Structure 1
Amino acid sequence: MYFGCMFCGNIWLVDWFEITNIFLSTETQLETLLEDLGLEQLYPETLSLSTILQIDKKTITDEPAKCNSDLPWYFLKKLMMVNVTARNAKRRSKCESNVDAASGKTELDFDHLFDNLHLGDMLNPLDIITALFLCSDGLVRQEMALKMSMCQFSVPLLLPNCDTKQCTLMLWALRDIVKKYRSQSLSESKGFIEDRIVLSELPMISFVRLGECSLSKSEILNKLLSNSQQYHDTFVHHDMECGDSPKRISNGLVEITWYLPCGNKNMDVFSEPVAVANLRGDIASFETQFSFLCQTSAAVFVFFDTLDSECELLTNQHHKAQIFLVGNQQSKRSSIDALKKVATKLGLTNSNILLKTKQMNDADCHKIAKHCQQCS
């Protein structure tokens, strides 16, 4: 089928299922994680909808996950019920289990107490989601994407695969998502637009990271997409349950969500609908995904702490997107000089550069929203 419009009017020829792009990662990480989750027998793409919808003891009880292999089924059970707590998939610690066993009374045990401070064996929700998509067939992927969208979670757009060293464009999985919105131009008539999201003519704004960055890109995105009356965690970030656990297979994942106005000027962050993409991981390690976003987005916001004055990754790209640099750097002369050189090579103006020396606040989010509005 042909897919266009959502990516700034570009037309992409898509294979009947999905198209793949190559990126590099390690095979052992995926194998190890699938074993931890008990999904090794379901990889690749053998988890069926009939398996997920089976009714058994786990389905009708609300027992928390006791081991890592329970986590995927906990997530799927909650997701099928469109429960917004589905991503809070965390197994009970030994200390919590002992408290339950003793009816709320337990002896002081420093070993168990300090075990809870170590997150090395806790799994990042993005790893669980990535693993499930890799193990699921086409129908399950569609159902998961649909239910995640209904929960207002971001959904995979480019799915990384450490085993086959490929990245899959998830258009087939998104085909059942239908959205309804009312842009400012329709507010007077009280009309609205309802359509499959992959067929809608929406500009896309992308957010990426270059190197280490002290700003939480995903948390800023959540603030950006939430109106003043209600905050919602569309993207997983480090302050969420297990959100600061190290990612094992989900770096390289590109997530997408959609901001859809309701036609109320006092509530709408954007007056027109827009797609928002978020790349997990450093663009230096995922150049294919970064290149894809530069070719399909109206604007790409690059978050950084420091810049190399040469920075070929940015300056050598043939950008169709407008580039914005969002920095959280100290005012060191060398860093400022490097930023000037990169900005000059990219032909940027002051309006394309946002600098912050402290934690980014709501006012800075409004600045980003204003730039997004101009590009949409």
Structure 2
Amino acid sequence: MEGLTVVLFGNSPSVQFEPENILLEGEKPFKTVETSKIVPLQREIAKRHVSVINMIDLHETDSVDHLIDQLVKENEIHAFIFVVRLGQLTDDDKMGLEWVQRVFGDKVLQFVMILFTYEREEESDTINDIKNPVLEQLLEKCGGRFHTCNKMMNNQSEMRDLMNKIELLFNENKQQLYTGEMLKQREDLKTSGCQTYCIPEPTISEERMEDTTTSETGEKHGGKNKDLETRVRQDQCLQQEDTKKRNLFQRLHLEGRQHNKLRTADVPQLTALSLQSHESCSEEELIQTFLQKLLMMDYSARYVNVKGKKQDHKQRRDKNSENQGDICDVFKDLSLSNIETSQSEQIHPMDVQMAVFHCADGFLKQLMVTKLSQCQYALPLLVPDPFTRRIEFPLWTFRQINKSWKIKHTNNETISQTQPIYKASTPMVFFFRFGSVSSSKSQLMNSLINEKHNTFFHRNCPGSSRTRELMDGVVEIAWFCPSGKNADKFTDHVSFCNLHGDARGHEKQLQILTQMASKMNLQ
């Protein structure tokens, strides 16, 4: 083979951009599209001439059509290498593959190979242990093709094996390359489908004329109008939800952290705040207080109150009462009280936990989950992204958790077992609800697992509020581990899964868990 042309795409946290990088040699990811063209990097790898086209982070940039057109006109591509951080599959990663498919067409998938990168040598063999339905779906899309290498991409042996796999892919594709002709076919298909997907906005009269049908009696019936109105209402509701969630991240000073992730190194910083014991703190201190309490295995991490706002308002109101005795001041106070109530809605304790989880990198997520387990709290099992609604299955974060239990047999023999929980095969009981119910299913589950401890946070826990932005659709899991005594409610270890929110709005989670569960409890 004369040479190889490969495209690298994905997210920059998956790659170390240093001069030792064999593929990129310090080349930085795209941050702007001011350049008029992409110039391939010329490399000599394993006695092969390789043209490397760096498209890392390009999917986060607007207006790239001119770059894509130039790219495929000047290059015939052997493989698209999708770079993903091993064990830290994010929604940004999933969107990266969807972006390539959208830009280059469905045919591009036959040229895609996933490149999992790792930082520590011991991580390199974990790919075979990770059972993640989202990851399995991505691999299936890419024909099961993948390779692993270190994040530095400086290992000659790993790079040689990667080149061999690209050649194998080339032969599997019958030596076919991705060309400008394939992109043109995709553009032609998109154009021909414009009438289906690109409907111009009609005027009101046109819309009514087009969206009504006449029955045999001459009576007109609404058709698409109702569907359109329903979709508009749904979109408006989603936009309102997104606005509330963005406001929450802003109040917690986490704006931008969904891309620039929090790391474990950011947490154990000694400050004046960390040297004090806090039952309450200001909103800007909530995240730091929660994390530091959690890392110290302080179960009260979930119960930190926000202080300051109500007291400040009371002082202002008392001062106004002293200075002015007018009856109008009563209405002024009521007005101030209403403003204060709307501006200072209490942040739900579980929103604090989930906001940190969404903004944490893989290692911090794993540390959080490990500490939550040590505090005997339920763990996040299925986590929808707050904005894209895509579901993450963070099983990798469970790897350091071991559970022990004792089983008492009929002959009074007691057997003790200890297993990593992600490998343990346990019967699962799944709790969910349709609509609103008067009783709390989380509280019911707590009574089954541990009556003296709130394993699942519920409506009657301290700090609970009606405003909860990040928990709907989250599935948490906890385990009952018998002690081998007669008082045990169950004779064997059992896992309990809890779908938060109305199950009617979370069909995917409902579908996954009904397939996995041994028993289901509907409220």
| Length-normalised TM-score, structure 1 | 0.67
Match of 1:246 among 446, 467, 481: 467
CA distance in 2, matches of 1:193, 1:290: 31
SS in 2 for 1:276: strand
What pairs up with 1:233-272 in 2 under 5 angstroms? Answer: 233-266=454-487, 268-272=488-492
Change over 3 Å in CA distance of 1:214–1:48 after alignment to 2: same
Partner of 1:171: 395
Mapped contact 1:29–1:248 kept (Cα < 8 A): yes
Partner of 2:304: 89
Partner of 1:369: none
Change over 3 Å in CA distance of 1:96–1:206 after alignment to 2: same
What residue ranges of structure 2 are gaps of 5+ in the alignment?
1-126, 140-234, 322-332
Indicate the percent of aligned positions where both proteins have the same amino acid.
Answer: 26
Partner of 2:293: 78
Instruction: Pick the structure with greater CA Rg.
Output: 2
What is the identity, as a one-letter code, of the residue corresponding to 1:297? A
CA distance in 2, matches of 1:108, 1:302: 53
1:54 aligns with 2:275: no
1:275 aligns with 2:495: yes
| Length-normalised TM-score, structure 2 | 0.49
| Residue 93 (structure 1) shift | 4.3
Match of 1:145 among 346, 353, 369: 369
SS in 1 for 2:354: helix
CA distance in 2, matches of 1:198, 1:119: 42
What pairs up with 1:206-225 in 2 under 5 angstroms? Answer: 206-225=430-449
Mapped contact 2:281–2:304 kept (Cα < 8 A): no
SS in 2 for 1:238: coil
Mapped contact 1:3–1:198 kept (Cα < 8 A): no
| Residue 113 (structure 1) shift | 9.4
Match of 1:44 among 238, 259, 262: 259
What is the identity, as a one-letter code, of the residue corresponding to 2:290? F
Change over 3 Å in CA distance of 1:169–1:244 after alignment to 2: same
More helix by share: 2
| Residue 14 (structure 1) shift | 6.5
What is the identity, as a one-letter code, of the residue corresponding to 2:518? A
What pairs up with 1:333-352 in 2 under 5 angstroms? Answer: none
What is the identity, as a one-letter code, of the residue corresponding to 1:224? L
Partner of 1:157: 381
Partner of 2:510: 290
Partner of 1:184: 408
Mapped contact 2:384–2:390 kept (Cα < 8 A): yes
CA distance in 2, matches of 1:275, 1:63: 33
- The alignment covers a number of residue pairs equal to 283
| Residue 119 (structure 1) shift | 10
Change over 3 Å in CA distance of 1:47–1:107 after alignment to 2: same
| Residue 42 (structure 1) shift | 1.7
| Residue 245 (structure 1) shift | 2.9
Change over 3 Å in CA distance of 1:186–1:62 after alignment to 2: farther
| Residue 117 (structure 1) shift | 8.4
Partner of 2:247: 32
Partner of 1:133: 357
SS in 2 for 1:74: helix
Q: Whose RCO is larger (CA < 8 A, sep 6+)?
A: 1
Partner of 1:15: 135
SS in 1 for 2:460: coil
Query: What are the Cα deviations for residues 51-76 of structure 1, in whole angstroms up to 9, with x where unaligned?
Result: 11111222112245442222121111
What is the identity, as a one-letter code, of the residue corresponding to 2:135? D
Farther off after superposition, 38-47 or 28-37 = 38-47
CA distance in 1, matches of 2:320, 2:277: 28
SS in 2 for 1:59: coil
Farther off after superposition, 185-194 or 131-140 = 185-194
SS in 1 for 2:246: helix
| Residue 96 (structure 1) shift | 5.2
Mapped contact 1:64–1:92 kept (Cα < 8 A): no
| Residue 95 (structure 1) shift | 4.7
Mapped contact 1:120–1:245 kept (Cα < 8 A): no
Change over 3 Å in CA distance of 1:119–1:246 after alignment to 2: farther
What is the identity, as a one-letter code, of the residue corresponding to 1:206? F
SS in 2 for 1:133: helix
Mapped contact 1:3–1:14 kept (Cα < 8 A): no
CA distance in 1, matches of 2:405, 2:430: 21
Runs of 4+ in structure 1 deviating by more than 6 angstroms, as ranges, are 106-120
